Structure 1
Amino acid sequence: MDIRASTVLPAVREDIELHTADGLTLVGELATPPEGRPAATLICLHPLPTAEGMMDSHVLRKASYRLPALADLAVLRFNTRGTASDRGRSEGAFDEGEGERFDVAAALEYAEFYDLPNPWLLGWSFGTELALKWGHDPLVQGAILLSPPLKRAGDADLDAWAAFGRPLVALVPEFDDYLRPEEARERFARVPQAEVVGVEGAKHLWVGEPYVRIVLNEIVKRVNPAAHPLPTQV
């Protein structure tokens, strides 16, 4: 069977709740491999909720549909404060990336409490800013950024990540609306361990199955190289 845009592969899927230090309950889902212990964990930070970003934004949803089965990865998705999806609405209200620090911390605490191995942050657009600003936790193995705008997160956040020392991979579309590969390489030069991967033909929203496959392969290449490249058939 060819893997298509709508393909959902086997996984153990459970609805979860995260509890923040400032008293909110956030809704989410954890998908783990159908058999055995995961090799690593993706903690997904979704795009801007005021522009319809949520835990079901398509790249994150497809990661949860495919990567537990194809790459032995656990995929934790959740709605940040005030964000709604089919899973439900998280408590609280959007806070421009500031109060969301507690949301990131709650996801990491969940991963630690349930012994989810080798957590990596996977941020997309607004989610990349949360990763850069609030992801400096000893539990974090590294971060993968999809379409980083570098608006709310600036040079001070890049410097902090440089000092943090963990791997940082930015996947930057050729035709991004906010930050394109050449400028991204200049901005991320502040982070010695950062890698910027320009993706020809791609746009900010990664629409189209070829671009989704590129993204998922780049993720797996860093997080569980033994499973790279991903198959196109099952």
Structure 2
Amino acid sequence: MDIRASTVLPADRRPITLHTADGLELVGELALPEDRDPVATIICLHPLPTAEGMMDSHVMRKASFRLPALAGVAVLRFNTRGTTSRHGTSQGTFGEGETERYDVAAAIEFAEFEGLPAPWLVGWSFGTELALKWGCDPEVRGAVLLSPPLHRAGDADLDVWAASGKPLVALVPEFDDYLRPDEARRRFARVPQAEVIGVDNAKHLWVGEPYVRTALDEIVRRVAPGAHPLPTEWDGPYERDTL
């Protein structure tokens, strides 16, 4: 069977609640490999909630549907403060990327408490700003950034990552609305270890199965290289997403 946009592969999926240092409860889900221990973990930071971004934004939803089975990767998704998805609504209100520092910290602390291995941040758009501003934590191995606008995050944040030496990978669509590959290479040049990968014909929202596959494949190349490249077919049981 070809893996399609709506394919849901087997995983141990658990609803979780993250508790922030400023007293909020955040709605989330942890998807684990069903038949083995995870080899790595991705902590997903979703797009802008005031523009309908949430933990169920399609690239992150598909990561949770595929990567536990295909790559042995644990996928932790959650709604930042004030954000709603079909999983529920997190407490609090949108903080313009500032008070969300507590949300990022809560997710990293959850991964540490649960003993999840090799955590990486995967941010998309607004989520890349959270990763850059608040995610350079000793527990975090590195970050993969999808469509980074570099709007809220600036040079000082990039300098923190540069000093850390942690891997930083930016996947930049050729036709992005905010930051395109050439400008991204110039901006990220202050981080010596940063990789900027231009994705031909892609746009900011990564609409289309070929672009989703590119994003997931590049994530797995970094966090679980033994599973790269991801297969495009599946012979076992599966379900269909109805969202």
Does the pair score TM above 0.5?
yes
Counterpart-to-counterpart distance in 1, 2:157 and 2:192: 14
Q: Could you say what the CA RMSD is over the residues aligned between the two structures, in angstroms?
A: 0.4
Q: How does 1:13-28 map to 2 (within 5 A)?
A: 13-28=13-28
Gaps of 5+ in 2: 235-243
Q: How does 1:150-169 map to 2 (within 5 A)?
A: 150-169=150-169
Gaps of 5+ in 1: none
Counterpart-to-counterpart distance in 1, 2:186 and 2:160: 17
Dislocated runs of 4+, deviation >3 Å: none
Q: How does 1:191-206 map to 2 (within 5 A)?
A: 191-206=191-206
Determine the structure 2 residue equivalent to 1:101: 101
Say how many residue pairs are matched. Answer: 234
Q: Shift of the alpha carbon at 1:221?
A: 0.4
Counterpart-to-counterpart distance in 1, 2:215 and 2:198: 11
**Which residue identity is paired with 2:233?**
Q
Q: TM-score, normalised by structure 2?
A: 0.96
Determine the structure 2 residue equivalent to 1:36: 36
Q: Shift of the alpha carbon at 1:85?
A: 0.3
2:176 aligned with 1:176: yes
% identical aligned pairs:
78
Q: Shift of the alpha carbon at 1:164?
A: 1.5
2:6 aligned with 1:10: no
Counterpart-to-counterpart distance in 1, 2:161 and 2:113: 24
Classify the secondary structure of the residue corresponding to 2:7. coil
Determine the structure 2 residue equivalent to 1:207: 207
Q: How does 1:63-212 map to 2 (within 5 A)?
A: 63-212=63-212
Q: Shift of the alpha carbon at 1:87?
A: 0.5
Counterpart-to-counterpart distance in 1, 2:136 and 2:175: 29
Classify the secondary structure of the residue corresponding to 2:152. coil
Classify the secondary structure of the residue corresponding to 1:156. helix
- Structure number with higher relative contact order (C-alpha < 8 Å, ≥ 6 residues apart): 2
Counterpart-to-counterpart distance in 2, 1:109 and 1:157: 21
Counterpart-to-counterpart distance in 2, 1:199 and 1:24: 37
**Which residue identity is paired with 2:106?**
A
Determine the structure 1 residue equivalent to 2:47: 47
**Which residue identity is paired with 2:139?**
L
Classify the secondary structure of the residue corresponding to 1:203. coil
Q: TM-score, normalised by structure 1?
A: 1.00
